[in-house]
Amino acid sequence: MATASKRLQVKYAQFITRSPSGSAAFVAIDLAMLALNDMGVIQNCSQTCEQVFGYRQDELVGRHVSTLLPQLLDTERVLEDRINSRLAFLCHCAMPFQALRRDGMRFTSELFINRLSSQNVVVLVRRLGELTRLS
């Protein structure tokens, strides 16, 4: 019996937040979305990844997430079929993660991570800092 595979299709992701002045006005910030398997391999990503990371969608599929987020190379993303509680805590506390662009530039980012299905993880990446050259 064949099972239908689920594919996440996201063109643009947006995050709504309060403006820096603290006023009631809201601003939209583009987010890069990455869908990973439990091994950390990118299965799908949003079109926003091109402007955030400088890679086309088809260039990222099949690569390990550490290509973009080196701190996730040695970090277990899933433990006992759940998001690693330490990683979830760090994301919840808005710990900055270093992100790398294709052109060798890096930036500080904030991650939002969630379990999509029993075999997939979704990571949203929001750029926090300015681009700097890798040293």
Distance of alpha carbon 15 from alpha carbon 134, whole angstroms: 28
Residue 37 lies in a domain: yes
Residue 79 confidence class, pLDDT cut points 50, 70, 90: confident
Residue 60 lies in a domain: yes
Residue 1 lies in a domain: no
Distance of alpha carbon 81 from alpha carbon 103, whole angstroms: 35
Q: What pLDDT was estimated at residue 104?
A: 92
The pLDDT tens digits for 14-70 are 444 444 555 544 444 568 999 998 888 999 999 899 889 999 999 999 999 999 999
On the question of pLDDT at 8 being above 50, the answer is: no
Q: What is the residue range of 128's domain?
A: 26-133
SS3 124: strand
3-state SS of 4-38 is: CCCCCCCCCEEEEEECCCCCCCEEEEEEEEEEEEC
On the question of pLDDT at 4 being above 70, the answer is: no
3-state SS of 54-120 is: CCCHHHHCCCEHHHCCHHHCCCCCEECCEECHHHHHHHHCCCCEEEECCCCEEEEEEEEEEEEECCE
Residue 47 lies in a domain: yes
Q: What pLDDT was estimated at residue 34?
A: 94
**CATH number, domain containing residue 106:** 3.30.450.20
Contacts with 76 (C-beta within 8 Å, 6 or more apart), sequence order = 84, 87
In contact, 99 and 127? CB cutoff 8 Å: yes
Stretch 68-90: mean pLDDT: 83
**Whole-number average pLDDT of the chain:** 79
Q: What pLDDT was estimated at residue 95?
A: 86
Count of domains forming the chain: 1
Residue 12 lies in a domain: no
User: Is this prediction's pTM over 0.85?
Assistant: no
Nearest residue to 32 (alpha-carbon basis) of 9, 14, 7: 14
